Amino acid sequence: MNGAARFARRIAPQLAILAAILVLISIVFPGFFEVRIANGRLYGSPIDILNRGAPVALLAIGMTLVIATRGIDLSVGAVMAICGATAAWGSTEGYALPATLALSIAAGLACGLWNGFLVAVLRIQPIVATLILMVAGRGIAQLITEGAILTFNQEGLIFIGSGSILTVPTPVIIWMIAGLLFTLVVRWTALGMLIEAIGVNLRASTLAGVNSRVLLIAVYMASGLCASFAGIIAAADIRGADANNAGLWLELDAILAVVIGGTSLLGGRFSILASLIGALIIQAMNTGILLSGFPPEFNLIIKALIVLTILVLQSPATRTAAIFFRRQPGTDPADTRTVTP
């Protein structure tokens, strides 16, 4: 099987799920695919999905890399709040746009460095290590905003949240370029393989001379970087930093996007594109539920049920059962199990 076919097979289930959801929505809501241009910007439900999905898509990029190393980053929601607050603070203090953005990105990288330090140097379990910043992060963000919603009026910053370039909303462009850049960087260099290697077997990779410590710190910093982009977009969108609610529970959506994208929580093989499709699936569900005329109260329930369905389809138990039924009964289940070191 050549590379392209393998790649197509890898993302086929995610594309199928996304298509199914979109078709389902368009059946219930026939005008769904209508896209129009107004005031030099695209409008319409599909655009809305791409636009609203920006924060989760961005977070999912970094989260994919972290999960590929057998880690997890619970802090991205809180880091979004910190970075949004930093950007708002920079803006209200009168810094120019580049300085404001640099400050905010630096804050995200610093958060990632902290997580990476705990995981790579102190060797604390990722779920435990990032929990610390998840708990403390909103406190830090509130410290920056002093507990209030910090609003700003900087045109440039607002443009990032609600402007458009060549009719495409800026957030869409940002996450697409980020996704493309990250994919190119990990696949055109050896980063991708080295990340997968440490995700499968950290000790063996280290013994092979892989600089696992630096790589681990790098993926958490990448996650922090993505969180800062997401935080800036979220803040720019509402023209203010809300330390309490910015990015609330988005870490869970991001993890979900990666899981739906088929990257195993046990690390190893990963696909950023599949995670991005996963993020779109989540956003399409949100938008679809809204459009389909269900009372908004049902949103969470329907989301939970869809998530469960997808997870059931992906669960190892279901897969084993599927293989069992496809083959002759009585074959050894041992050789259908994935190999874990």
Partner 1 sequence: MNARMLPLIATVVIFLAAYAVCFIQFPAILSTRVVGNLLTDNAFLGIAAVGMTFVILSGGIDLSIGSVIAFSGVFIAVMLRDTGLHPIPVFVLLLVITTLFGACMGATINFLEMPPFIVTLAGMFLARGMAYVLSIDAVPIDHDFFDVLKDAYWLMPGKGRLTFIGGLMLLVFLAGIVLAHRTRFGTNVYALGGGAATASLMGVPVARTTIAIYALSGFLAGLSGIVFATYTSAGYSLATVGVELDAIAAVVIGGTLLTGGSGFVAGTLVGVLIMGLIQTYIVFDGTLSSWWTKIVIGFLLFAFILLQKGLVLVSTRERGTADRPGRGS
Partner 2 sequence: MAENPPLLRAEAVSKGFPGTIALDAVDFTLVAGEVHALLGENGAGKSTLIKCLTGAYRRDSGDVLLEGQLIHPRDPLDAQGLGIGTVYQEVNLLPNLTVAENLFLGHQPRRFGFVSQGRLKSQARETLSHYGLNIDVSRNLDTYSVAVQQIVAIARAVRLSGKVLILDEPTASLDAHEVQMLFEVIRTLKRRGLGIVFISHFLDQVFDVSDRITVLRNGRLVGTERVGDLDRMKLVNMMLGRELEQETRVTGRTDAPSGGPHLTFERFGRSGRMAPFDLAVRRGEVIGMAGLLGSGRTETAEAIFGVTPHDSGDARKDGERIDLKSPRDAVAAGFGFSPEDRKTDGIIGDLSIRENIVLALQARAGWSRPIPPRRQVELADQFIRRLDIRTSDAEKPVGLLSGGNQQKVMLARWLATNPTFLVLDEPTRGIDVGAHAEIIRLIEELCAQGMSLLVISSELDELVAYSHRVIVVRDRRHVAELAGAEITTDSIVKAIASHEAEQQA
Q: Which residues bind partner 2 (CB under 8 A)?
A: 188-191, 193-194, 196-197, 200-201, 203-211, 215, 268-269, 331-332, 335, 338-341
Stretch that binds partner 1, among 29-37, 189-197, 275-283, 308-316 (CB under 8 A): 308-316
Query: Pick from 135, 165, 208, 323: which binds partner 1 (CB under 8 A)?
Result: 135
Selection from partner 1, partner 2, none that 205 binds (CB < 5 to 8 A by kind) is: partner 2
Residue 143 one-letter amino acid: L
With beta carbons less than 8 A apart as the criterion, state whether 64 and 263 touch. Answer: yes
- CA dist list (Å): 23 to 4, 145, 164, 288: 26, 43, 27, 10
CA distance 15 to 280: 10
Selection from partner 2, partner 1, none that 153 binds (CB < 5 to 8 A by kind) is: none
CA distance 150 to 142: 10
CA distance 149 to 239: 10
**Structural tokens at position 282:** 């989540």
Site for partner 1 in 41-60 (CB under 8 A): none
> Considering beta carbons, is residue 291 or 307 the nearer one to partner 1?
307
Q: DSSP 3-state helix, strand, coil percentages of the chain (rounded to 5)?
A: 75, 5, 20
Query: Pick from 20, 23, 28, 123: which binds partner 1 (CB under 8 A)?
Result: 123
3-state secondary structure of 37: strand
CA distance 304 to 285: 10
**Residue 337 touches partner 1, criterion: CB under 8 A:** no
> Considering beta carbons, is residue 128 or 193 the nearer one to partner 1?
128
**Residue 131 touches partner 1, criterion: CB under 8 A:** yes
Site for partner 1, rule CB under 8 A: 72, 122-125, 127-129, 131-140, 142-143, 146-147, 243, 252, 255-256, 259, 265, 296-305, 307-308, 311-312, 315-318
